[in-house]
Amino acid sequence: MKWLPNLLVILSALLSSCANDGTALQLGERLYPSTDPLQVVILIEPPKRKHTVVGLVESQASTDDYLSRSRTQVAAIRILKEQAAKIGANAVVLTAKGSRPYGQMTMVMSNTNGSAHTVGSNQSNLIGNTVYGQGNATTNFNAFTTTSAMSFGWELMQFSGTAIRYGE
C-alpha cells in the first residue's frame, strides 16, 4: 500500500495538461489587433452598447490539472478569454457551458489468508488372509478474503461563446 501515493502522482503527471485547450474561429475578413485577456469580460447576454461579432470561441479544462471544480472552471474561463483576446475581442457572450466525465481509474486490491488442517487415523488388523480396518478423517479449511475497490475520475468543463468587440 505504500506504493499507492506514488502511483497516483505518476498517473496525475501523465494525465496533466492533456485536456486544457481552446479554439477561436474568426468571422469575417477584417482582422482586429489582439487585446489583453485580463481585460476581456464574460457576459451572459449581448450588451446594449454598440458592438461587432468578431468570432466564436471555445475552451475546456479538466479537474486532473486543477483538482477542484472551482479552479477548473476558473481555468476554462481564462482559456476562453485568451482565445477571444487573440482575435481582438473585448468580451465573450457565453452561449454554452457544460461538463462531462473525463478519464476514470479503478483500482482493486485483494488479500487472502487461509489455513488447512487435516486429522486422520487408520487402524487395520490382519486376521488370516483378511484385512479388517476402520478409520476416520477430519478436514478443516478457513479462508478470509478482503477485496477493496477504489474508483475515481475527473471532470472536463467546456465553455463556448460569441466573441465581440465594442464600438465597431
Q: Where are the domains of the chain?
A: 17-100+154-166, 108-146
Task: Give the per-residue pLDDT at 56.
Answer: 97
**Domain covering 17-100+154-166 in this structure, CATH number:** 3.30.110.70
How far apart are alpha carbons 106 and 155 in whole angstroms?
15
Partners of 56 in the β-ladder: 25, 162
How far apart are alpha carbons 19 and 64 in whole angstroms?
9
Section 76-95 average pLDDT: 97
**β-bridge pairing 91-127 and 51-62:** unpaired
**Three-state DSSP state, 46:** coil
Q: Residue 99 corresponds to which amino acid?
A: S
Task: Give the per-residue pLDDT at 70.
Answer: 86
Percent of the chain with pLDDT over 90: 44
How many CB atoms sit inside 10 A of residue 103's CB? 16
All residues at 6 or more sequence positions from 147 whose CB lies less than 8 Å from its CB, including other chains: 108, 109, 110, 111
Is the pLDDT at 27 greater than 80, yes or no?
A: yes
Q: Is the dihedral of CA 84, 89, 92, 95 positive or negative?
A: negative
Confidence of residue 76 (pLDDT cuts 50, 70, 90): very high
